[in-house]
Structures are given as structure tokens and as C-alpha cells.
């Protein structure tokens, strides 16, 4: 297993378009997290899954954002009607059980909305 994979690495889209990102976690990990990171800030929590169940969503996650993990393996994060303020690095991470021993992060997807 090669760690957490995210695709694409970079995405440039026009304002108003929809985008979808994919994350493949470490196969033994049942928890999967999405974070957003803007320039000069630490990662901010968006949502997390335990297996296929989405257990928590941040207030940062507007109605334009939706995440799924249909079979408890990979996850997708979709942003509808993108806005310039959505430009950021979107990080996926996975962990075993409670995650109190740390998360393994992917390399991220950098989104630029023009």
C-alpha cells in the first residue's frame, strides 16, 4: 500500500463550474477525513467518514459541498457552482479507529477558481 492518494493534484476551473476530487485512503483505515487549507493557514476540518457513514460535517461545508464514501473505500468531494473563495488545497487523510495516533495525509488537490 502506497499511502493516501488524491486525484487530481491540480485543478483549474472557471467560476460556476462543478468539480470533483477523489481520495483513496490506506486500505486498512476505516476513517477518512477531508480538510481545506488556504494560504498562510493551517488545515481546517471539513468532514469525516467512518466506513461509509459520514459522521460529521463542519459549518465551513456549505450546501455547495458534498462528500461521499459509497463503499467505505475511496471518497469523493464535489463542489458545485465554484466560487473564487473555494480556491484552496483540499487535503484528504485516513486513520485507523479513533485517529488519536495521527492521520496519514495525501498530497492534496490544489484548486484554483478563475
Partner 1 sequence: AQSVTQLGSHVSVSEGALVLLRCNYSSSVPPYLFWYVQYPNQGLQLLLKYTSAATLVKGINGFEAEFKKSETSFHLTKPSAHMSDAAEYFCAVSSMEYGNKLVFGAGTILRVKS
C-alpha cell at 19: 468539480
Could you say whether residue 2 binds partner 1 (CB under 8 A)?
A: no
Task: List the x/- string, 32-51, binding to partner 1 by CB under 8 A.
Answer: -x------xxxxxx--x---
Q: Between residues 19 and 103, which has the closer beta carbon with respect to partner 1?
A: 103
Could you say whether residue 108 binds partner 1 (CB under 8 A)?
A: yes
Stretch that binds partner 1, among 12-20, 66-74, 79-87, 97-105 (CB under 8 A): 97-105
Buried residues in 44-66 as b, exposed as e (16+ CB within 10 A)? eebbbbbeeeeeeeeeebeeebb
Q: Between residues 18 and 112, which has the closer beta carbon with respect to partner 1?
A: 112
DSSP-assigned letters across all residues of 19-66: EEEEEE--TT--EEEEEEE-TTS--EEEEEEETTEEEEE-TTS-TTEE
Q: Which residues would be at the binding site for partner 1 (CB under 8 A)? A: 4, 6, 33, 40-45, 48, 56, 91, 93, 98-108, 110
Amino acid at each position: 500500500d502506497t499511502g493516501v492518494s488524491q486525484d487530481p493534484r491540480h485543478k483549474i476551473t472557471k467560476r460556476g463550474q462543478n468539480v470533483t476530487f477523489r481520495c483513496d485512503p490506506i486500505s486498512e483505515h476505516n476513517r477518512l477525513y477531508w480538510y481545506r487549507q488556504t494560504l498562510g493557514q493551517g488545515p481546517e476540518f471539513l468532514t469525516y467518514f467512518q466506513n461509509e457513514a459520514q459522521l460529521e460535517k463542519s459549518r465551513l461545508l456549505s450546501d455547495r459541498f458534498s462528500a461521499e464514501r459509497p463503499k467505505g473505500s475511496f471518497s469523493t468531494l464535489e463542489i458545485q457552482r465554484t466560487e473564487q473563495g473555494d480556491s484552496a488545497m483540499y487535503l484528504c487523510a485516513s486513520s485507523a479507529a479513533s485517529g488519536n495516533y495521527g492521520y496519514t495525509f495525501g498530497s492534496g488537490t490544489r484548486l484554483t477558481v478563475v
